[in-house]
Structure 1
Amino acid sequence: MLLSVIMAILLCVFTSACLCESVGRIILPNNVSVSALLVFGDSFGDQGNNNYVNSSGKGNYPPYGKDFLGGKPTGRFSNGKTLPDFLVEVLGVKGYLSPFLDPVISDKDLQTGVSFASGGSGLDPLTSTSTAAIPMSVQLDMFKQYIERLKRNVDEEAANNIITNSVAVVVASNNDLFLSFPLRRSQYDALAYSNMLTKLVLNFIQELYTLGVRKMVVFSAPPIGCLPEVRTLAGDPQRRCADKENNLAQLFNTILEQQLQSWTTSFPQSRVAFIDYYNPFINIIENPQTYGFDVVDKRCCGTGEKEASFLCNKLTPTCPDRSKYFFWDGAHLSEKGNSIIIGQIIQDLVNSLF
């Protein structure tokens, strides 16, 4: 069933010039189709919404987008396609996902899904306040506006069908665990903070459920201690992964998975896929050659140690072969990195949702 995905990934792995612009389309079960993809969360899912808000966390200038639609910087935090782009493609919806705040977004684009995510956002309200990102609560308000726009574009019944047959993706917690938890230490220990974040996730997906969404995907936290930026700031002199940050991510992921299972039993009409982002991510870092990567501890942009967002710009050089780098900047994956991750998780996602 995943032959087209696997073949495309293998082609990218063994062909150094390939930047993995496509991972193919997965074959969904009979009589199943996805009408739209709806993405909420942080920069891993931001398709350019931060272009339209007063935030310094933007990716709408070179060299971002170096390999996207002819080298166009769109606000995606990568050199090319992001996780939402690959996900919306393999689900057979469309080629890439647009940001909701794009003022020229088409009615057709609205009908097939958009991203509400914002670089720097998080589940903890403190996170968005400190980064000037779009809070998750405001992303929910944007989703309500989206539903009203859908109803104006198509009739109410058609709009409801689009929402019911959509897949909503929540990818957050990265900024919370690295940025906000240190600021919350006087209030929470690691366990209490992880429980707090998990409760916020459950509240968020319940709001989505109330608004008509029935299929939801929740990404776990990645191994944040292995992000190049975190290696530089919190790792040892050899820039090895920061164990404390990774242990926190693992604790949160364990609690989140357990609580999502309990939540789903209370809402049998819904399907919620917990996606383990941590282990596929760490597996690539520990076995880079298997996936065609030479560099997994530094980023492609600049010196490889500290450039992210505005520090990755047209004045900073990029690596000579982007297909050999897992990371594009200090916190975000290269296009090839994103494609490999989707190839690793897509089977679990489909099995959980359909």
Structure 2
Amino acid sequence: MTSFFLRFILLALVSCKTKAILKLPPNISVPAVLVFGDSIMDTGNNNNNLLTPARSNFPPYGKDFKGGIPTGRFSNGKVPSDFIVEELGIKELLPAYLDPNLQPSELASGVCFAAGGAGYDPLTSLTSSTITISGQVDLFKEYIRKLEGEVGVDRTNFILANSVFLAVFGSNDISNTYFLSRLRQVQYDFPAYTDFLVTLASNFLKEIYELGARRIGVFSVPPIGCLPSQRTIAGGIERKCVARYNEAAELFNRKLSKELNSFNKNLENSRIVFIDIYNPLLDIIVNYQKYGYEVGDKGCCGTGIIEVVELCNRFVPTCPNDLEYVFWDSFHPTETVYKKLISPLLQKYVNKFI
């Protein structure tokens, strides 16, 4: 069952420089965005990994993407990675690093290393047969070598020091590895497991800092108890939000935020920012009508209560109008929800990076 609940987003196309929507302070440069994480950010790194069920490079995924192409993003259209680079005026889409069509010229403006099904916990990625967090760091090391070959060492160092790095992990660890499969419950109670995850997150951040990252945004875990699939599994007959899952996410988020605050005191020239996605997304889910949606507890794909990845396929129907839905499948929001979330988040946090 773990394959049912992997997580957000895959592949991107070669794209051009776009007009910045977000106003940066004078003399501030953000040459690139580099993303690590799970399917929330993945733009296609799992497309050629036939061992993992965490793929979405088939219809109806990508229904509202350019040309209706299923690029591997776990959405009907664009995902946060794309909206972030677009808001910053860097390019329209953030390409997957493992996209075989990736052009060397794309490296200097950023790529995505995220892979659906990944987590801070290596067991999470291994059970999904996807790229581990350490594997994503290895891809980053390879990226640095390639970038040096393209633009030279000095320019590479400038790009790394001034780019925005983003990390989105934790949802699969909590929802799949701890609660669904219970693989870690033998070793840890939940408070101890969150301590373990925070240690892994800390190690990851120190490693990319040593490799040159300075402006790093770390997303919180979302309100996973309100995702349609989790409501179906553990929300009872009425499919209510699962309180203990949300409480678990909040506990982890508090510990992670506290850890990140200490980083900026100890790592020279670092700007490591905790980005709260939990509360903005929860507000959209709970108050969906206020945001113009008609359905907040089911996905557009199939019945909307369980379909995700391979269960959301060309043989199941989709809702007549995905603009009315908060969720595209039983785990991932629609493109319009991502768009509503990203612009205010950047407005709120961008000055903390500089």
TM-score if structure 2 supplies the norm length? Answer: 0.92
Counterpart in the other structure of 1:307: 307
CA distance in 1, matches of 2:341, 2:188: 32
2:233 corresponds to which letter in structure 1? L
In 2, Cα distance between equivalents of 1:186 and 1:104: 43
Which residue number in structure 1 is paired with residue 30 of structure 2? 34
Which residue number in structure 2 is paired with residue 48 of structure 1? 44
Give 1:161's match in structure 2, choosing from 131, 136, 158: 158
Q: Deviation at 1:347?
A: 2.0
Corresponding position: 1:175 with 2:172? yes
Q: Which residue of 2 aligns with 1:233?
A: 233
CA gap of 1:262–1:300, structure 2 versus 1, over 3 A, is: same
Residues 123 and 197 in structure 1, CA contact (< 8 A), matched pair in contact too:
yes
8 Å Cα contact 2:20/2:90 also seen in 1: no
List gaps (5 residues or longer) in structure 1: 1-21
Runs of 5+ unmatched residues, structure 2:
1-17
Q: Give me the whole-angstrom Cα distance separating, in 2, the residues matched to 1:215 and 1:117.
A: 18
Structure-1 separation of matches of 2:28 and 2:155: 17
**Partner in structure 2 of residue 288 of structure 1:** 288
Equivalence map 1:112-131=2 (5 Å)? 112-131=109-128
Aligned residue for 2:247?
Answer: 247
Structure 2 counterpart of 1:142:
139
2:9 aligned partner: none
Runs of 4+ that moved beyond 6 A = none
Matches of 1:289 and 1:167 in 2, distance apart?
33
Q: Which residue of 1 aligns with 2:3?
A: none
The percent of aligned pairs where both chains have the same amino acid is 47
Let me know the Cα RMSD of the aligned residues.
Answer: 1.3
Deviation readout 1:335-354 (Å, 9 max, x if unpaired)? 00110111331222213212
Superposition map of 1:1-354 within 5 A: 25-53=21-49, 54-181=51-178, 182-354=182-354
Q: Aligned partners of 2:186 and 2:19: how far apart in 1?
A: 45
Q: How far, CA to CA, are the matches of 1:52 and 1:326 in structure 2?
A: 29
TM-superposed CA distance for 1:108, in Å, is: 2.0
C-alpha contact (below 8 Å) 1:23/1:339 kept by paired residues: no
Q: 1:211: Cα distance to partner?
A: 0.4
Amino acid at match of 1:233: I
Q: Distance in 2 between matches of 1:164 and 1:264?
A: 15
How far apart are residue 52 of structure 1 and its match? 2.0
Note the alpha carbon deviations across 1:40-99, whole angstroms, 9 max, x for none. 011001100000223121110011111111101100000000011001111111111010
Residues 102-141 of structure 1 show CA distances to partners (whole Å, capped at 9, x for unaligned) of: 1120122111111101100100011011111100000000
Residue 168 (structure 1) shift: 0.7
Q: CA deviation at 1:24?
A: 6.9
**Which secondary structure does the structure 1 equivalent of 2:305 belong to?**
coil
Assess if the C-alpha contact under 8 Å between 1:224 and 1:230 holds in 2.
yes
Q: CA deviation at 1:199?
A: 1.0
Residue type at the aligned position of 2:185: R
Aligned-pair distance for 1:263? 1.4
- Give the TM-score taking structure 1 as reference length: 0.92
CA contact (8 A) 1:23 1:343 kept: no
Contact kept in structure 2, 1:218 and 1:275, CA below 8 Å: yes
Separation in 1, partners of 2:33, 2:221: 20
Tell me the SS of whatever aligns to 2:183: helix
Conserved 8 A contact 1:107-1:153: yes
- For 2:297 and 2:105, locate their aligned partners in 1 and report how far apart those are by CA, in whole Å: 40
Mean Cα displacement is larger for which, 218-227 or 268-277? 268-277
Q: What letter matches 1:226 in structure 2?
A: C
SS, match of residue 272 in structure 1: strand
